């Protein structure tokens, strides 16, 4: 099978849940490391999950919660419909054209929350470093 045929088969294989997780994750700009951290897994475990055609319901529910989509969307994700949704979406009004038979993925970004969380982690790390240095002096 040629690489073009493999790519076409990958795009058309809606029932491959692992591939659907990968597509949604990539479309949302989430790295495997980030998803792994949120699920208390390792990046190689996420890579293996994305290669599985079927995933148990409990794991799928956890993944869908982290990605902010329903398990049903992951199971029935369709690349062509997603691309149609993206190209037909009016981003200024955040609407979808009527009659579009699509599965909408809404990315939930809260940049202030993310920045605050990262700042708090950095601050905690710096305080720990300071405490170590002060303890060495004593």
Same domain, 72 and 87: yes
Q: How many CB atoms lie within 10 A of CB 20?
A: 23
Tokens found for residue 37: 């951290």
Q: 95 has which bridge partners?
A: 90
Asked whether the beta carbons of 67 and 31 are under 8 A apart, the reply is no
Same domain, 72 and 115: no
pLDDT higher for 123 or 103? 123
Report the C-alpha gap between 134 and 132 in whole angstroms: 5
| pLDDT tens track for 54-97 | 999 999 999 999 998 889 888 888 776 666 555 554 444 444 44
State the total domains in the chain: 2
pLDDT computed for residue 55 by the predictor: 93
For residue 122, what are the domain limits? Answer: 108-138
Tell me the CATH number at 76.
Answer: 1.10.260.40
Asked whether the beta carbons of 20 and 77 are under 8 A apart, the reply is yes
* Confidence band, pLDDT 50/70/90 cuts, at residue 8: low
Same domain, 101 and 126: no
Mean pLDDT across the chain: 76
pLDDT computed for residue 12 by the predictor: 52
Neighbour-count burial for 79-90, b at 16+ CB within 10 Å, e otherwise: bebbebbeeebe
- Tell me: pLDDT of 113 over 80: no
Of 66-80, 91-105, 124-138, the poorest mean pLDDT is in: 91-105
- Tell me: pLDDT of 36 over 80: yes
């Amino acid at each position: 099978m040629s690489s073009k045929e493999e790519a076409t088969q990958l795009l058309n294989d809606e029932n491959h849940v692992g591939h659907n997780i990968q597509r949604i994750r990539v479309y949302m700009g989430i790295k495997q490391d980030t998803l792994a951290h949120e699920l208390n897994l390792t990046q190689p475990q996420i890579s293996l999950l994305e290669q599985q055609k079927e995933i148990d319901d409990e794991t799928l529910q956890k993944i869908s919660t982290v990605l902010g989509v329903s398990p049903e969307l992951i199971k029935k994700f369709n690349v062509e419909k997603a691309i149609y949704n993206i190209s037909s979406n009016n981003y200024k009004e955040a609407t979808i054209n009527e009659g579009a038979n699509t599965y909408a993925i809404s990315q939930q970004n809260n940049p202030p929350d993310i920045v605050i969380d990262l700042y708090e982690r950095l601050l905690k790390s710096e305080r720990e470093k300071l405490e170590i240095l002060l303890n060495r002096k004593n």
